[in-house]
Structure 1
Amino acid sequence: MGPVLVNGLPAHVLLVHFVVVLVPLTALALVACAVWPGVMARFGLALPVLALVTLVSVPVTTHAGEWLERHVTSDALVRRHTSLGDGLLPWVVALFVLAAVVWWAYRRAARATAGAAGTRGAVALPLRAVAVLLAVVAAAGACVQVYRIGDSGAKAAWHDAFSAAGPADRG
């Protein structure tokens, strides 16, 4: 499904950075586009494309993580990280679906009001309110899940790999 090694190192360690950047960026863009039609006008097709790239990055990263899981010592921290990682995909699917719906609704409204001055494709208020609410929920859920996954991954990777005091022979 994707690379498991990059230059001899586990690909998951590199790929996770794409997810950590893309998910919050997509979440922010989705909320901004759902709230402000002017922002949606500037984003255009970039919103669903960004959400699609984000969506693709998650299973690729998860696949590399599953490979890495089979090549490290399993403990409770690794299992927790893996379990949390499996929970991100539904949130990112929601971001993608909502991004496509917001983009489609904006385009539809823009075409319907093409002759009217100053409307910029304003979507009907009830539909926009629902879109904003769902976008905020999906964005918050995705960002919280990314944080939880990252925190558990850092704990799994670093829990006994450093000393807070530093080397004993400093002096």
Structure 2
Amino acid sequence: MDVGLINGLPSHPLFVHGAAVLVPLTALALVVCALWFSAARRLSWVLPVMGLVTLALVVLTTESGEWLEERVRESALVEEHAEMGSGLTPWAIALFVLTVAVWLLGRGGLRRERDRSGEAGSPAGGGASAVARTASSVPVRVVVLVIALVVAVGAVIQVYRIGDSGAKAAWQDRFSTSRSGAGR
């Protein structure tokens, strides 16, 4: 699959803008849902789908960046940007895994609430399953929240660093700080 061109132009800038928006948005949704499992239940399947789309977009961005790297003038800034760019994929994988985990934990908490209220065909005695009890326990929620915070902050910082290096690679010494005479 050739991800290098869209309408005859390099696709990398298009994918970059999508990833620069979606990675922080997914990170924010992850943290909110890890903090309030009721938000994960409200978002339902949207949270893991966001994680999956984010991961796919990061992979497309990286692939299109590698395609473009082979077709631009070699420089230290381009090399630095390319090396940093491939470092976002592990963060995107972690975001995806955590969005699925938080979604599942949110569903486990819902099951426990239903079991307590006697809904959804719970067994006589109405006790929540051991998995649902463990999933909604405070220690598990705290661990998941801390991991989600670390991954979310790390992913956003990495997106910023990659974007900064890409902007430098694309624009360093290629414009003037004073206005040109055109249009006067």
Paired letter, 2:116: A
Listed as ranges, the gaps of 5+ residues in structure 2 are: 118-131
TM-score, with length taken from structure 1: 0.92
Q: 1:128 aligns with which of 134, 141, 149?
A: 141
Which has more radius of gyration?
2
Paired letter, 2:57: S
| Structure 1 residues 60-101: Cα deviation after superposition (integer angstroms, max 9, x where no partner) | 111110010000001010001001101101111111111111
Paired letter, 1:45: W
Q: Tell me by how many angstroms 1:133 deviates.
A: 0.1
How many positions carry a matched residue from both structures? Answer: 168
- Aligned residue in 2 for 1:162: 175
- Aligned residue in 2 for 1:21: 21
Q: 2:156 aligns with which of 114, 137, 143?
A: 143
Structure 1 CA distance for aligned equivalents of residues 145 and 24 of structure 2: 16
Structure 2 CA distance for aligned equivalents of residues 30 and 169 of structure 1: 48
- Aligned residue in 1 for 2:7: 7
Sequence identity, in percent?
A: 51
Contact 2:37 2:109 in 1 (8 A): no
Structure 2 CA distance for aligned equivalents of residues 76 and 36 of structure 1: 44
Q: Which runs of 4+ in 1 moved over 4 A?
A: 168-171
Structure 2 CA distance for aligned equivalents of residues 67 and 115 of structure 1: 53
1:69 aligned onto 2:69: yes
Alpha-carbon distance change, 127 to 56 in structure 1, aligned in 2, over 3 angstroms: same
Structure 2 CA distance for aligned equivalents of residues 38 and 111 of structure 1: 12
Q: Tell me by how many angstroms 1:168 deviates.
A: 5.7
| Structure 1 residues 94-142: Cα deviation after superposition (integer angstroms, max 9, x where no partner) | 111111111111112211221436xxx8821100000000000000000
Aligned to 2:177, the other structure's residue is in SS state coil
Q: Equivalent residues in 2 for 1:16-165 (5 A)?
A: 16-116=16-116, 123-165=136-178
Alpha-carbon distance change, 33 to 59 in structure 1, aligned in 2, over 3 angstroms: same
Listed as ranges, the gaps of 5+ residues in structure 1 are: none
Aligned to 1:3, the other structure's residue is in SS state coil
Structure 1 CA distance for aligned equivalents of residues 20 and 86 of structure 2: 15
Contact 1:95 1:138 in 2 (8 A): yes
Structure 1 CA distance for aligned equivalents of residues 97 and 164 of structure 2: 27
Contact 1:2 1:60 in 2 (8 A): no
TM-score, with length taken from structure 2: 0.86
Alpha-carbon distance change, 164 to 101 in structure 1, aligned in 2, over 3 angstroms: same
| Structure 1 residues 32-52: Cα deviation after superposition (integer angstroms, max 9, x where no partner) | 000012211211111001000
